[in-house]
Amino acid sequence: MNSKIIVASKNPIKINATKLGFQKVFASMNFELEGVSVPSDVSDQPMTNKETLQGATNRATHAKNDFPNAAYWVGIEGGIEKMGEEMMAFAWIVILSNEKKGKARTGTFFLPNKVVELINQGKELGEADDIVFGHSNSKQKNGAVGILTGNLIDRTQFYVEAMVLALIPFLNKEIY
C-alpha cells in the first residue's frame, strides 16, 4: 500500500506533527513524508475560524492536485479569531485521501493583550510573538502555545492531537 504523505508545508513542526499523528493512529505502518510549498489562498494570517479551515482545505487540495502520487495529503493552517475584546488562537487540520476527507481543529487558547495589539496593527501571530517575547522564528519552533505554556504543550503536541482526530474517518471507514 502506498504510504506516502504529502504535507502542504515545509515547516518542520507541521511535518513532524503529521508523522507523529499518523504513527499514533497507524502504528504498524511505515510512512514516507514530504513537505511541499503550496498556496493557502487565504490571508497570511487567517482572522476567522472559517478562513482558517478554508486555508487548511486549500493547502491539502493544492498538495493533492500538484503531487498526486501519495496516499494522503495534509493541510495545517493556524488562525486567530476575535471574541469580544479578546483573541483566540487555534489551527485546523485537513487530511485528504483518494476516498476520504478528515478534519479537526486544535484546542483553543487566548492571546495576551500585547500580542493582540500587534496583530491589530497588521502583524502575523508569529511575528507578534517574536516581538513581545524576544524570540526569533517562533512559528517554526514552539509557537505561541509553547511560549505561553512554558513548553508544557509545544506546537508539535498541539497539532498531534488534532491530527489524530482528523484521522477518525480513516480509522472508521465503514461509518464515514
Q: What is the pTM of this model?
A: 0.94
- Residue-wise pLDDT for 67-101, tens only, equals 999 999 999 999 999 999 899 999 999 999 999 99
Which phi and psi (to 5°) does residue 114 adopt?
-60, -40
Show the domain range for 56.
4-171
Whether residue 53 is contained in a domain is answered as yes
Whether residue 166 is contained in a domain is answered as yes
- Residue-wise pLDDT for 119-167, tens only, equals 999 999 989 999 999 887 666 677 899 999 999 999 999 999 999 999 9
Number of domains in the chain: 1
CATH code: domain of residue 58: 3.90.950.10
Mean pLDDT, residues 44-56? 97
